[in-house]
């Protein structure tokens, strides 16, 4: 007898054949109909029990949440709602679930808020919503590797512990093995990091970019896909302290090629989940429609989830310079009527999410790639343009999210890079290895970073980034 996953059983045409199925009870009606789910798909498998010939003790143990093993025969279903069902020949309780305990949890068969689900994050993967999101996340993750593999990129594992702060923002989590009640100091009264495990001050990475650049300058095209950490005290629906980043780096590539790759990449991975996650996307689309019924019309999504994904896949992204975007924003109604929280007055303003979303959702009504930002608001490693005031940076802006990709052509000129580091008080000695790559066969190269959770957020139609990662890490929250 063959063990099958429920997703395989539901697609099977092997009627009258016997199978073994494992799963968790989602419901049990009339002492006869068991809805079983093993997480392999959204839909449950109906298992029909011959209750008249089943021990009462066993029937009383078939409760919501219980793990069971079923041996049975596949039949065409006699009822509505399913094509096939399993006639149970043998049933074994593998793990009991007390109904009184279940009623206190999100496993109980009633609607629970997403906030309640976060409080019981160890159980929320058993719910339809979170199961659908996590399957979608898994397929997106696979699509990321599939895309870069077929493009000839090499996957590089960049370090989690590092001595550099790639963004230069200082928002890092420190790494130490010091006894925090007895931290050694030097004669100046400062922490003596020479006695620490690594002999210097270290932190969790905020980006694998700098290390990935060094590998691109030997392997040509590389990418990283790993966890990153930001000690940014932001309690918003778009920020996490721990998240996953996708960061390709390409040698012999300028900004236009970088923008081309970002657009091609996003379209590829979204098309992949549209093709391979049809049931989960249909469910998430309906969930979003139900959620938005009580919202004012202007706050609802402009189009259903799957239509939105198709729109992104099938339409070119609009490419707009920062300077042009500033003029559009400065002359916009929300700016003139002081509806923006951050008013746009002068060139050089650092765009906020409200500005990015206006450009995407109201003005252009499609994804937008902004490029050539002021050097003063961008990182040290971005290539300085000939005008001396802008850099070859680019951001991809999406509806409902704002920035989803940030990238640039990197500064390949040793002297220019050194001057920029000094101007920003970045110690060249700390990044001597990064600078040195500009001495030995330097070339124009580019790359970008994409926060994976923001991609999952967009693809799933969820509204809070804490609901698209298994265990969210946010300020004052490291539970589970």
pLDDT in tens, the chain (480 residues): 789 999 999 999 999 999 999 999 999 999 999 999 999 999 999 999 999 999 999 999 999 999 999 999 999 998 888 899 999 999 999 999 999 999 999 999 888 999 999 999 999 999 999 999 999 999 999 999 999 999 999 999 999 999 887 765 668 999 999 999 999 999 999 999 999 999 999 999 999 999 999 999 999 999 999 999 999 888 888 889 999 999 999 999 999 999 999 999 999 999 999 999 999 999 999 999 999 988 888 778 878 999 999 999 999 999 999 999 999 999 999 999 999 999 999 999 999 989 999 999 899 999 999 999 999 999 999 999 999 999 999 999 998 888 999 999 999 999 999 999 999 888 899 899 999 999 999 999 999 999 999 999 999 999 999 999 999 999 999 999
Report the number of secondary-structure helices (H) and strands (E) in the chain: 15, 17
CA 288/CA 269 separation, integer angstroms: 21
CA 251/CA 267 separation, integer angstroms: 23
Backbone φ/ψ region at 400: left (φ over 0), alpha (ψ -120 to 50), beta: left
Block residue for tokens 């009580």: 294
Confidence (pTM): 0.94
Token readout for 476 is: 């004052």
Block residue for tokens 């399913």: 82
Q: What angle do CA 331, 372, 378 make, to 5 degrees?
A: 100
- Tell me the CB-side half-sphere exposure of residue 442, using CA atoms within 13 A: 14
Q: What domains can be seen in the chain, in order of their start residue?
A: 2-105 (2.40.50.140), 128-171+206-467 (3.30.930.10)
Nearest CA-CA partner of 46 in 56, 57, 37, 59: 37
Chain centroid, CA 300 distance in Å: 22
Between the alpha carbon of residue 313 and those of residues 139, 246, 427, the distances in Å are 17, 19, 43
């Amino acid at each position: 007898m063959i063990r099958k996953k429920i997703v395989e059983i539901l697609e099977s045409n092997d009627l009258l054949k016997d199978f073994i199925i494992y799963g968790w009870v989602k419901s049990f009606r009339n002492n006869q109909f068991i809805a079983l789910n093993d997480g392999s798909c959204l839909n449950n498998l109906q298992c029909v029990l011959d209750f008249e010939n089943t021990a009462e003790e066993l029937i009383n143990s078939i409760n919501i949440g219980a793990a069971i093993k079923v041996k049975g025969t596949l039949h065409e279903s006699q009822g509505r709602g399913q094509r096939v069902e399993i006639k149970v020949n043998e049933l074994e309780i593998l793990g009991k679930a007390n109904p009184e305990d279940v009623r206190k949890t999100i496993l109980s068969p009633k609607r629970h808020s997403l906030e309640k689900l976060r409080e019981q994050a160890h159980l929320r993967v058993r719910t339809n919503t979170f199961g659908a999101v996590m399957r979608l996340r898994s397929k997106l993750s696979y699509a990321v590797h599939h895309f870069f593999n077929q493009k000839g990129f090499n996957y590089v594992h960049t370090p989690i512990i590092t001595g550099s702060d790639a963004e230069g923002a200082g928002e890092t989590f420190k790494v130490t093995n010091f006894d925090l009640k007895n931290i050694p100091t030097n004669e100046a009264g400062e922490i003596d990091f020479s006695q620490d495990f690594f002999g210097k001050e270290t932190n969790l990475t905020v980006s694998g970019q700098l290390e990935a650049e060094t590998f691109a300058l030997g392997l040509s095209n590389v990418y990283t896909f790993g966890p990153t950490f930001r000690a940014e005290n932001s309690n918003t629906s778009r920020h996490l302290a721990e998240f996953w980043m996708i960061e390709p780096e390409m040698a012999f590539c300028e900004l236009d090629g970088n923008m081309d790759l970002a657009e091609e990449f996003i379209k590829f991975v979204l098309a992949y989940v549209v093709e391979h996650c049809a049931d989960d996307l249909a469910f998430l689309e309906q969930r979003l429609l139900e959620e938005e019924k009580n919202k004012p019309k202007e706050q609802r999504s402009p189009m259903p989830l799957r239509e939105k994904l198709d729109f992104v896949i099938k339409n070119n992204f609009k490419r707009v310079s920062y300077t042009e975007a500033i003029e559009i924003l400065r002359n916009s109604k929300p700016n003139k009527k002081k509806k923006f929280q951050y008013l746009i007055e002068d060139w050089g303003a650092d765009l906020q999410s409200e500005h990015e979303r206006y450009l995407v959702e109201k003005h252009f009504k499609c994804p937008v790639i902004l490029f050539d930002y002021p050097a003063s608001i961008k990182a040290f490693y971005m290539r300085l343009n000939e005008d001396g005031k802008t850099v070859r940076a680019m951001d991809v802006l999406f509806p409902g999210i704002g920035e989803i990709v940030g990238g640039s052509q990197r500064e390949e000129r040793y002297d220019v890079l050194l001057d920029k580091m000094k101007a920003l008080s970045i110690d060249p000695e700390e990044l001597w290895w990064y600078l040195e790559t500009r001495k030995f066969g330097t070339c124009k190269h580019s790359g970008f970073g994409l926060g994976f959770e923001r991609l999952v957020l967009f693809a799933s139609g969820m509204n809070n980034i804490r609901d698209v990662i298994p265990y969210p890490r946010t300020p004052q929250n490291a539970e589970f």
